Structure 1
Amino acid sequence: MELRGDKVVLRSATSGDSEVLDRIVREPEVAAWWSPPEDYEDMLAVVAEGEVVGAIQFEEETDPEFRHAGIDIFLTARQHGKGLGTDAVRTLARWLVTERGHHRLVIDPAAANTAAIRSYGKVGFKPVGVMRAYGRDHRTGRWQDGLLMDLLAEELI
């Protein structure tokens, strides 16, 4: 699978990407929000200018009465603030809407992750509400709040 955005290419991650993705997810700025996954091969590598700079993943609820998809992403700190995350999320969101037929998408960053929340807002995601004690910080073991955000297909920017 390969999806092209304005600044990034999203392609199926391979075993050859695992080392660089594992290094990225352990960067302090990324590890604050992500714990290392067991397997990167269920993700899409985010590639900018030929370099793997992160990963993005999606999940789909297929029950026809609740059909929607969720997105999650991480990027190397070296590339934060350059619009790559926004482009990656927008590119995947468009594919989920146009090719997979989803009318609603969700994303659930930590409530304190203001940079991610701002980026998702640029795609059109809107806050729905705070989920208290939503996710455990893998570094401290403490629960942290999450912000549920959603995007309807017609709101995609």
Structure 2
Amino acid sequence: MEQKQPAAAPELRGDKVTLRPVTADDTAVLERIVREPEVAAWWSPPDDFDDMLAVLLDGEVVGAIQYTEENEPEYRHAGIDIFLTARHHGRGLGTDAVRTLARWLVRERGHHRLTIDPAADNTVAIRSYAKVGFRPVGVLRKYWRDHRTGVWRDGLLMDLLAEELT
């Protein structure tokens, strides 16, 4: 069973973004972002943001990223999820944030495999994750319930082995 980790990562610097633990001051901004129509199409508002890392661009919070770790030795791996404000979509920030966190999970946390599971029809996210090196594994049928419509939707399971990290 995957165990959610507290945002214990140190500040992580990518080429474009910085990741750091979410603070109480970030909550209002993140609540607004997750309710943007372009974000809400893929994300339900979380109960809290405590287990996330803020994604910053030039000091401005533009989204959040989180990770989970499975620490059972026979199944050890980590998973990643991310959302960014719509006004910064298409600029490579999500790719940079995912790559930055993936490098930390591989190099510092010792994971040999990472997973990510976007909606199967979220082609923009899928392309972004592929740029980091994630590959499709299979479709997870009726994987997540769309909080706006109540309809079950498919997810795409993607994974990345440490040696494939770009």
Instruction: Name the structure 1 match of 2:5.
Output: none
Using the TM superposition, give the Cα deviation of residue 41 of structure 1 relative to its aligned residue in structure 2, in angstroms. 1.6
SS in 2 for 1:45: strand
- Match for 2:142 among 133, 144, 153? 133
Q: Where does 1:1-157 land on structure 2 (aligned, <5 Å)?
A: 1-157=10-166
Using the TM superposition, give the Cα deviation of residue 16 of structure 1 relative to its aligned residue in structure 2, in angstroms. 0.8
- List gaps (5 residues or longer) in structure 1: none
Using the TM superposition, give the Cα deviation of residue 21 of structure 1 relative to its aligned residue in structure 2, in angstroms. 0.2
Using the TM superposition, give the Cα deviation of residue 35 of structure 1 relative to its aligned residue in structure 2, in angstroms. 0.5
Q: Using the aligned pairs only, state the percent identity.
A: 78
Superposition TM-score, scaled by structure 1 size: 0.99
Superposition TM-score, scaled by structure 2 size: 0.94
Amino acid at match of 1:9: T
Amino acid at match of 1:76: T
Q: Flag as ranges the 4+ runs of structure 1 deviating above 2 A.
A: none
Q: Distance in 2 between matches of 1:43 and 1:52?
A: 12
Q: Deviations over 1:64-116 (max 9, x none)?
A: 00000000000000000000000000000000000000000000000010000
- List gaps (5 residues or longer) in structure 2: 1-9
Q: Distance in 2 between matches of 1:31 and 1:152?
A: 29
Amino acid at match of 2:12: L
